[in-house]
Structure 1
Amino acid sequence: MTADVKTPLEQVNAALAQLKEMRHYSRTYVEQLTAQWLLFDGPLKKLKQAGKFEELMTRQAEFHEVLDEEVGLLEDLAKELQPPPEQEAVA
């Protein structure tokens, strides 16, 4: 039984692909949640119960900003790990 040995570039690309997929689904669900939240926003404000939910919405926006930064950092790392282009032999 042989173990799959991945290069650092392959590991970064795999993590990056998973992170991008998670980001996509997270954004989709947050957009759905926000749409639903807007239906209850007015009545909850009247009851003075909207503050907690508004804080959650702010925190999720902050989360996505940090997530985008991390994706960018991993993309930069993947570029650094790319092997240099092969030099053509001068004949």
Structure 2
Amino acid sequence: MSSDTKSPLDHVNDTLLQLKEMRHYAKGNVERLTAQWLLFDGELAKLKEAGNIEDLMTRQAEFYDALERVIAELEEVVVKLTPAPEEQGS
């Protein structure tokens, strides 16, 4: 099915799948960054770089939270766009 012939539901589902993939990688990135942060917090503070990493961690967490909200909203859109069972047979 080309993008010209996709239904709105197909487009929403494609977007939702992409966002879920992004969420998966974002979570892994946050976990790795946190692990590094815990290992080198003291050294980064001595180098006056701790603030930069803290800022990145905060921004990453905000992105992750926003991603979760958008995924939840699009999942609601999917429910609204999904035809009722009796409509699917016609």
TM-score (norm: length of structure 1): 0.83
More helix by share: 2
Which segment drifts farther, 41-50 or 78-87?
41-50
Q: 1:64 to 1:46 in 2, by over 3 A?
A: same
For 2:2 and 2:52, how far apart are their aligned partners in 1? 48
Alignment partner, residue 31 of structure 1: 31
For 1:27 and 1:8, how far apart are their aligned partners in 2? 28
For 1:18 and 1:55, how far apart are their aligned partners in 2? 26
Aligned pair count reads 86
Alignment partner, residue 61 of structure 2: 61
Q: Which runs of 5+ in 2 are unaligned?
A: none
Q: Which runs of 5+ in 1 are unaligned?
A: none
TM-score (norm: length of structure 2): 0.84
Amino acid at match of 1:76: E
Q: Does 2:38 match 1:73?
A: no
- Runs of 4+ aligned structure 1 residues displaced above 3 Å come to none
From the CA coordinates, give the structure whose radius of gyration is larger: 1
RMSD: 1.8
